């Protein structure tokens, strides 16, 4: 079974990302920073937050669904805010999505919030609402269930340091993972956590028996040339039984986002 985790950057590198996802076609894709504007057929809109201006693929969720026609797709919105078509405002949902190949049955799933609650009118004040999604699937190749839970961790404008909100977020993420797991399950937790490798978030997950694979296996960054800031870690993947890892790698080429895909082979 192949599991891919990726922050899609709102589909900014749409021309690179979609062919990569389509050709990779992982059994499970955990995708963060997903835009969903179901009432508009526009390809591109613009996100504006002060000086932060970013092109957004208006129907990124639809685009990835089209790239993975043999997958069951679940979109988990964190908020509905405004994107812009020149000077016209467009309501658009923002969150994360999970894609599971139809040959891999989803036998349990749960969606929840790791920070705040759903924001129905506007994206809200920073740090904004953040959702998480967990699935328990059946791996027929090895005749076992596997649980996979991912989140997009809150963005604090002051940085990636430990905060009380992040401590609560870590506990909620762990709780969601346990909700979709049974005793003895192989469990994976992943996502763009927006924390440093020495964070209390990762300590919480490690104390629960999870092994963090990115730094544990010697990777020195989960970012690429599109990311200009100095902090090079954001994305992590953890597993409760490292001996079940057939392969794990951080993909630096091709560049399909300002984050690198994380790929786990079980």
DSSP category for residue 208:
T
What pTM did the predictor assign?
0.97
The pLDDT tens digits for 101-119 are: 999 999 999 999 999 999 9
Q: Which ranges in the chain belong to alpha helices (H)? A: 14-24, 60-67, 164-179, 200-207, 213-216
Nearest to 1 by CA among 105, 128, 104, 129: 104
- The sign one gets for the Cα dihedral 237, 113, 208, 240 is negative
Q: Mean of the per-residue pLDDT values for the chain? A: 97
All domains of the chain in start order, with CATH: 2-265 (3.60.10.10)
Secondary structure class of 20 (helix, strand, coil): helix
**Cβ neighbours for 214, distance < 8 A, ≥ 6 positions apart:** 197, 222, 233, 235, 236, 237, 250, 262
Show pLDDT as tens, one digit a residue, over the chain (266 residues): 999 999 999 999 999 999 999 999 999 999 999 999 998 888 999 999 888 899 999 999 999 999 999 999 999 999 999 999 999 999 999 999 999 999 999 999 999 999 999 999 999 999 999 999 999 999 999 999 999 999 999 999 999 999 999 999 999 999 999 999 999 999 999 999 999 999 999 999 999 999 999 999 999 999 999 999 999 999 999 999 999 999 999 999 999 999 999 999 99
| pLDDT attached to residue 39 | 85
Written as six digits, the tokens of 173 are 């993420």
72, β-bridge pairs:
100
The pLDDT tens digits for 133-183 are: 999 999 999 999 999 999 999 999 999 999 999 999 999 999 999 999 999
Written as six digits, the tokens of 187 are 């469990």
């Amino acid at each position: 079974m192949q599991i891919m985790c990726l922050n899609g950057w709102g589909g900014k590198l749409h021309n690179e990302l979609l062919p990569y996802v389509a050709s990779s076609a992982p059994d499970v894709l955990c995708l963060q920073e997903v835009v969903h504007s179901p009432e508009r057929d526009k390809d591109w809109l613009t996100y504006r937050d002060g000086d932060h201006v970013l092109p957004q693929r208006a129907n990124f969720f639809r685009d990835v669904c089209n790239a993975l026609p043999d997958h069951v797709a679940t979109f988990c919105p964190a908020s509905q805010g405004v994107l812009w078509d020149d000077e016209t405002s467009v309501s658009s949902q923002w969150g994360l999505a999970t894609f599971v190949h139809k040959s891999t049955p989803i036998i349990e799933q749960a969606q929840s919030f790791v920070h705040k609650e759903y924001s129905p009118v506007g994206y809200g004040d920073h740090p904004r609402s953040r959702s998480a999604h967990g699935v328990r699937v059946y791996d027929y190749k090895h005749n076992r269930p596997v649980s996979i839970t991912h989140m997009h961790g809150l963005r604090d404008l002051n940085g990636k340091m430990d905060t009380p909100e992040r401590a609560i977020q870590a506990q909620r993420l762990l709780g969601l993972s346990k909700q979709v797991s049974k005793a003895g399950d192989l469990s994976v937790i992943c996502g763009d956590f927006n924390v440093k490798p020495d964070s209390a978030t990762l300590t919480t997950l490690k104390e629960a028996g999870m092994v963090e694979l990115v730094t544990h296996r010697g990777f020195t960054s989960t970012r690429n040339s599109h990311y200009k800031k100095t902090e090079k870690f954001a994305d992590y993947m953890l597993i409760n039984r490292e001996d079940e890892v057939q392969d794990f790698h951080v993909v630096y080429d091709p560049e399909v986002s300002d984050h690198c895909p994380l790929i786990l082979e079980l």
